[in-house]
Amino acid sequence: MAFILSLAVIAADRNSDFMGDLRSALLTLLDPIERIAQTPKQVYQNLTTDFTSFDELKLENERLKTEMLLLKAKQQQLIMMEQEVGRLRALLGTTGRVNNSTFQIATVNFFSSNPLSQFITINKGALDDVTPQQTVIDAQGVIGQVISTTPNSSRVLLITDPAHHLPVRIQRTGQRGILSGNGHDNTQLNFIPKSSEILVGDLLETSGLGGIFPSGYPVAVISKVISRDSDPYYEIYATPLGQLNQAQQVLILKQQRDPFATINTDLDTEIKPNQQNTPNIKGLDGTAINPDHPGRN
Partner 1 sequence: MGDNFIYISSRQVRWLIILSFVIALVLDSINLIGASYQFLPPFTLLVLLYWSGHFLDYTYISTAFVIGLLADTLYQTTLGMHALIYVTLTFTMLRHRLHFRGYSVIQQALNIIVFMFIFQVLHLLILSPTLDDNEMIQFWSMPVVSAFLWLIFAKLLNLLTQQNAIEN
Q: Which residues bind partner 1 (CB under 8 A)?
A: 1-3, 5-14, 19, 22-23, 26-27, 29-30, 33-34, 36-38, 40-41, 110-117, 119, 147, 155, 157, 161-162, 182-184, 245
Q: How far is Cα 187 from Cα 219, in angstroms, rounded to an integer?
A: 10
Where is 205: in which H helix or E strand?
strand 203-206
Q: What's the CA gap between 122 and 143, in Å, rounded? A: 12
Residue ranges of alpha helices (H) inside 18-53 are: 20-48
Task: Report the C-alpha gap between 271 and 279 in whole angstroms.
Answer: 10
**Please, which residue, 12 or 199, has the CB nearer to partner 1?**
12
Q: Indicate the residue among 41 and 65 with the shorter CB distance to partner 1.
A: 41
Tell me whether residue 130 or residue 244 sits nearer to partner 1 (CB atom).
Answer: 244
Shortest reach from residue 221's CB to partner 1, in Å: 21
Q: Shortest Cβ distance from residue 168 to partner 1 (Å)?
A: 21
Closest contact distance (angstroms) between CB of 230 and partner 1 is: 23
Q: Are 137 and 244 in contact (CB under 8 A)?
A: no
CB of 89 to partner 1, least distance (A): 40
- The Cα 115–Cα 37 span in angstroms is 19
Q: How far is the CB of 3 from partner 1 (least distance, A)?
A: 5
Minimum CB separation from partner 1 for residue 136, in Å? Answer: 15
Least Å distance between CB 292 and partner 1? 56
Closest CB to partner 1 among 100 and 150? Answer: 150
- 35 vs 176, which CB is nearer to partner 1? 35
- Beta strands 165-170 and 154-158: pairing type? unpaired
- Phi first, then psi, for residue 106 (nearest 5°) are -135, 155
Helix-strand-coil split of the chain, %, nearest 5: 30, 30, 40
Amino acid letter for position 216: G
Which of 13/82 has CB closer to partner 1? 13
Pick the closer one to partner 1 by CB: 22 or 127.
22
Q: CB neighbours (10 Å) of residue 147?
A: 20
